[in-house]
Amino acid sequence: MIDTPALLDTGSAPDVLVLAVKPQAMDSLLAAYAKVAAHGAVVLSIAAGKTIESLTQKLGASTAVVRAMPNTPASIRLGISVACANAHASKVQRARCDELLACVGNVLWVEDERLLDAVTAVSGSGPAYVFLLAECLAVAGREAGLPAALAERLARETVVGAGALLARSSLPFETLRGNVTSPGGTTAAALSILMADDGLQPLLSRAVSAATERARELAC
């Protein structure tokens, strides 16, 4: 990525231009990169909410664009990215973007760009939900009488271990959950709260809905 577009020699323009800035800052930067796009670079954007149309309005209608949504586990190469390309992006350009995104995790492609708002809400923001779960589990442990350091260690290792088990298993979520749950046992008692009508599912559904709507607002 080129931080100062004015210093770019367009005679040796890159094959891929990666736009990795906050969506709120995108509009003020795009015009400076229009010449790079005009020299045939495919634009790979990871800005939440910024549509392909909004990018081509600033970069040029014929610009090849791939819009992608990765997530923060990309920092340890365990991310998941979902990408969508416009009609101007060639197979070679799509493959190049796929190769770049695959360096930090798995890559999925969709044809309907509208799905990326919900993708952002689920996987883009999703790590924060998991971190909050660990945080809340540690608090609950302290409230149950555990020393703070022990509660935090148990919460952290439980989330890490459960995630690793999920990654290595092909079993459905429900089966993995059921494998931990003995009828009438401690897990069943906890799940009776978490799976109640006002439990975790409706709460998380509202959270994802709010994130999806915010992603759509960022496109404006």
- pLDDT tens for the chain, 220 residues long, are 445 555 455 556 789 999 988 877 887 788 888 888 888 899 999 988 889 999 999 899 999 999 999 999 999 999 999 999 999 999 999 999 999 999 999 999 999 999 999 999 999 999 999 999 999 999 999 999 999 999 999 999 999 999 999 999 999 999 999 999 999 999 999 999 999 999 999 999 999 999 999 988 887 6
Verdict on whether the full-model pTM lies above 0.85: yes
Boundary (domain end) residue, out of 116, 146, 167: 116
**Is the same domain home to 106 and 155?**
no
φ, ψ dihedrals at 196, nearest 5°: -70, 170
**Is the same domain home to 57 and 144?**
no
* CA neighbor of 60 nearest in space, from 84, 37, 91: 37
What is the three-class DSSP state of 24?
Answer: helix
Q: What is the pLDDT of residue 2?
A: 44
CA angle 127, 115, 22 (to 5 degrees): 55
Measured distance CA(12)–CA(36) in Å, rounded: 9
Q: Which residues contact 95 (CB under 8 A, 6 or more apart)?
A: none
CATH number at residue 130: 1.10.3730.10
**Is the same domain home to 112 and 131?**
no
List, edge to edge, every strand of the sheet that includes 42-45.
Answer: 16-19, 42-45, 65-69, 79-85, 105-109
- Count the domains in the chain: 2
Q: What is the pLDDT of residue 24?
A: 79
Is 18 part of any domain? Answer: yes
- 47-80: b (≥16 Cβ within 10 Å) or e: bbbbbbebbbebbeeebbbbbbbbbebbeeeebb
Is 121 part of any domain? Answer: no
Q: Which position has the token pair 């931080």?
A: 3
The CA-based diameter of the chain, rounded to the nearest angstrom, is 71
> Which tokens go with 20?
């990795």
Boundary (domain end) residue, out of 98, 116, 134: 116
Q: Which position has the token pair 């796009």?
A: 37
Spatial contact of 37 and 57, defined as CB atoms under 8 Å apart: no
Q: What is the pLDDT of residue 133?
A: 98
**Is the same domain home to 9 and 111?**
yes
Is 158 part of any domain? Answer: yes
Domain span at 52:
5-116
CATH number at residue 32: 3.40.50.720
Spatial contact of 150 and 141, defined as CB atoms under 8 Å apart: yes
Boundary (domain end) residue, out of 73, 90, 116: 116
Q: What is the pLDDT of residue 31?
A: 81
**Is the same domain home to 110 and 160?**
no
